């Protein structure tokens, strides 16, 4: 069996769903000479403590799938792992004290079994946030040293500890420990004991990820799928630790190869001398089974018909049939074979092996409504886009151009509250995210405008000029308080347009004339964002920036700066669904 934690030394980047699988072998007893054959050994008592914790601590965004992953693990243990339903205890978003108390309760049960001479097994699972030396439970931390102490109290037991730990859940869903320290290394070092197998969702150089489509972490989903029978490569009806690892490695790598974050390589380190193959689940004993025929070649996504929950996601190749142990009920299968996608409906019943027959399946267009896999790619692309608008002020500039007007008797007309402000600053833009913290932005808006006036005899002359600009920006952002508040900075380059309108009552001169000038635009800004709890697609921002736009010129070469410092309030709407 196993103790799942990521295992390699220093983490330079966030690591994540970390799973540690540990075994403490039962103490051996001396054989009795000429003792009668006791018959087949009885099954050990099996206890499981399953913990799911979506809420984040300080500086951590709430997770979306940690508690769902905990439910998946509890389900596969109850169904296929020789665990009685009453002995699988599930805690959702508990505090550290509740977890330690539950562990002490398991320790007491194992000791009672040992006192009666009975063997026992323990499975501990945690899915949630983690830092370098501890798992996070809301605002509290459970140190690995405390976890080790509880596990060390288990006498002569086979112990399985699974930690699916993560720190963050943004536009791309990265899961991992904080980069300042190495949760992977510390998890192994502080829980190390003989009989330990360490399986990690990624190496110390990589980021681990969650999947919107699978509604869980890639690693946990593929590990559970393996335990349901997809990993049973030798066909003996049991899934061993090695088989589960090999399947999870291949499928996690394939699932993450085309994501923004990049590939995950599952790692495994073991110290199982004398243990042989360690069976984890027994799919052959399941009452309801689905058989995927040997000739089928393609991806098979299985969903529960009632609620659309993903039951399994396998990549079938031509060869031996594949059997999966599932709960009886109605299911949908989306089967992708090359460019074709078909959808099948079938029902699993107890005490029967149901063969997936694709001959009666309907061909569908791979979009979001008919194929969850392909549709999710469309949704993710849409999630990258946002539109925004802002309103505020930009300060008017004095320069050689305006000084020349004053030399000819023109005087600036005072603005709002006589502060030298124009009527306002307005902008509209659209952005597309390239990574969770980097986006491109196209924006158009107003620049500074001004009005100068002079009186000569019975004539009043007015010179009005205005600026407009459009630019392409690169924006970098980071979360400050979870997913709700953030900081960003942006810089861009583009084109500016300046217009000058002259009005006069002098004779022999056109009463009104307008000239248009073109120039470049350099722009930079920084701001704060605040996202609404609902809907998550809406966020407000405040921004301070500076624009440099020397477009307007007079006949003797003086240039006017149409930019200047600005301050705006804005609204940004993301085009994807609520996250």
Q: Looking at residue 368, what is its pLDDT?
A: 41
Tell me the average pLDDT of the chain: 77
Q: How confident is the model at residue 276 (pLDDT cuts 50, 70, 90)?
A: low
Average pLDDT over residues 33-47: 61
Dump pLDDT digits (tens) for 102-139: 999 998 998 898 889 888 888 888 887 776 677 888 67
Element (H, E) at 255: helix 241-256
- Does the structure show a pLDDT above 50 at 192? no
Q: Looking at residue 235, what is its pLDDT?
A: 86
Average pLDDT over residues 70-84: 89
Q: Looking at residue 204, what is its pLDDT?
A: 53
- Does the structure show a pLDDT above 60 at 73? yes
Q: Using CA atoms, how far apart are residues 137 and 122, in angstroms rounded to an integer?
A: 21
Dump pLDDT digits (tens) for 355-370: 988 887 888 764 443 3
Q: At a CB cut-off of 8 Å and minimum separation 6, what does 526 contact?
A: 487, 488, 489, 490, 543, 544, 545
Q: Are 1 and 160 in contact (CB under 8 A)?
A: yes
Average pLDDT over residues 403-419: 76
Percentage of the chain surpassing pLDDT 70?
74
Q: Looking at residue 20, what is its pLDDT?
A: 42
The secondary structure of 408-430 as a DSSP string is TT-EEPP-GGGSS--S-EEEEEE
Q: Which CATH number fits domain 384-574: 2.40.160.20, 2.70.150.10, 3.30.420.40, 3.30.365.10?
A: 2.40.160.20
Q: Does domain 3-26+44-209+263-275 have CATH number 3.40.50.1460?
A: yes
Q: Looking at residue 153, what is its pLDDT?
A: 74
Q: How confident is the model at residue 196 (pLDDT cuts 50, 70, 90)?
A: low
- Does the structure show a pLDDT above 90 at 442? yes
Q: Are 139 and 130 in contact (CB under 8 A)?
A: no
Q: Looking at residue 534, what is its pLDDT?
A: 64
CA 148 to chain centre: 29
Percentage of the chain surpassing pLDDT 90?
25
Q: Using CA atoms, how far apart are residues 563 and 493, in angstroms rounded to an integer?
A: 13
- Does the structure show a pLDDT above 90 at 222? no
Q: Give first-to-last CA distance, the chain, whole Å.
A: 36
- The pTM for the full model equals 0.55
Q: How confident is the model at residue 13 (pLDDT cuts 50, 70, 90)?
A: very low
CATH code of the domain made up of 286-366: 2.60.40.10
Q: Using CA atoms, how far apart are residues 75 and 70, in angstroms rounded to an integer?
A: 9
Q: How confident is the model at residue 29 (pLDDT cuts 50, 70, 90)?
A: very low
Highest mean pLDDT among 30-39, 219-228, 336-345, 411-420: 219-228
Dump pLDDT digits (tens) for 530-554: 987 666 688 899 999 999 999 999 8
Poorest-pLDDT segment among 251-265, 283-297, 395-409: 251-265
Higher pLDDT, 274 or 386: 386
Q: Where are the domains of the chain?
A: 3-26+44-209+263-275, 286-366, 384-574
Burial status of residue 124 (CB atoms within 10 A of its CB: 0-12, 13-18, 19 or more): buried
- Does the structure show a pLDDT above 60 at 571? yes
Average pLDDT over residues 337-360: 86
Q: How confident is the model at residue 182 (pLDDT cuts 50, 70, 90)?
A: very low
Average pLDDT over residues 253-282: 70
The secondary structure of 56-116 as a DSSP string is --TT-PPPSSHHHHHHHHHHHHHHHSS--GGGEEEEES--HHHHHHHHHHHHHHHHHHHHT
């Amino acid at each position: 069996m196993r103790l799942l934690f990521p295992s390699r030394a220093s983490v330079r980047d966030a690591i994540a769903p970390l799973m540690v699988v540990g075994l403490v072998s039962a103490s051996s007893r001396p054989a009795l000479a000429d003792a009668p054959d006791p018959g087949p050994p009885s099954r050990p008592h099996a206890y499981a403590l399953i913990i799911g914790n979506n809420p984040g601590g300080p500086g951590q965004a709430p997770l979306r799938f940690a508690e769902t992953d905990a439910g998946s693990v509890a389900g596969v243990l109850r169904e296929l792992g020789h665990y009685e339903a009453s002995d699988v205890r599930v805690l959702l978003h508990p505090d550290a004290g509740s977890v330690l108390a539950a562990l002490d309760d398991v320790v007491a049960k194992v000791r009672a079994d040992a006192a009666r001479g009975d063997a026992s097994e323990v499975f501990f699972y945690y899915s949630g946030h983690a830092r370098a030396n501890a798992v996070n439970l809301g605002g509290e931390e459970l140190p690995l040293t405390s976890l080790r102490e509880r596990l060390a109290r288990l006498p002569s037991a086979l112990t399985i500890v699974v930690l699916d730990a993560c720190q963050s859940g943004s536009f791309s869903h990265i899961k991992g420990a904080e980069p300042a320290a190495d949760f992977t290394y510390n998890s192994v070092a502080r829980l190390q004991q003989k009989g330990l197998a360490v399986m990690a969702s990624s190496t110390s150089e990589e980021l681990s990820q969650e999947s919107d489509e699978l509604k869980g972490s890639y690693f946990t989903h593929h590990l559970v799928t393996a335990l349901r029978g997809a990993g049973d490569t030798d066909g003996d009806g049991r899934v061993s630790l090695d088989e589960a690892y090999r399947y999870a490695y291949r499928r996690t790598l394939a699932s993450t190869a085309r994501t923004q974050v990049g590939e995950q390589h599952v790692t495994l380190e073991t110290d199982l001398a004398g243990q042989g193959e360690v069976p984890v689940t027994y799919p052959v004993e399941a009452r309801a089974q689905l058989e995927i025929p040997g000739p089928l070649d393609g991806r098979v996504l299985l969903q529960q018909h009632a609620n659309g929950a993903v039951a399994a996601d396998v990549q079938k190749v031509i060869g031996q049939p594949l059997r999966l142990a599932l709960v009886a009920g109605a299911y949908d299968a989306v089967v992708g074979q090359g460019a074709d996608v078909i959808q099948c409906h079938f029902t699993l019943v107890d005490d029967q092996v149901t063969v997936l027959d694709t001959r009666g399946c309907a061909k569908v267009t791979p979009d979001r409504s008919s194929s969850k896999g392909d549709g999710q790619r469309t949704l993710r692309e849409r999630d990258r886009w946002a539109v925004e608008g802002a309103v505020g002020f930009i300060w008017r500039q004095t320069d050689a151009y305006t000084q020349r007007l004053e030399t000819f008797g023109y005087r600036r007309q005072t603005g709002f509250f006589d502060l030298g402000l124009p009527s306002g600053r307005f902008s509209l833009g659209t952005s597309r995210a390239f990574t969770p913290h980097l986006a491109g932005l196209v924006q158009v808006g107003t620049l500074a405008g001004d009005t100068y006036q002079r009186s000569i005899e019975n004539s009043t002359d007015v010179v009005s000029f205005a600026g407009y600009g459009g630019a392409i920006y690169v924006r970098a952002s980071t979360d400050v308080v979870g997913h709700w508040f953030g900081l960003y900075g942006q810089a861009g380059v583009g084109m500016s347009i300046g217009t000058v309108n002259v009005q006069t009552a002098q004779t022999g001169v056109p009463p009104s004339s307008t000239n248009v000038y073109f120039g470049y635009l350099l722009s930079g800004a920084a701001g704060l964002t605040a996202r609404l709890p609902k809907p998550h697609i809406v966020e407000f921002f405040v921004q301070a920036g500076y624009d440099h736009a020397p477009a307007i010129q007079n006949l003797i070469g003086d240039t006017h700066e149409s930019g200047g410092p600005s301050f705006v309030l804005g609204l940004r709407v993301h085009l994807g669904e609520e996250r």
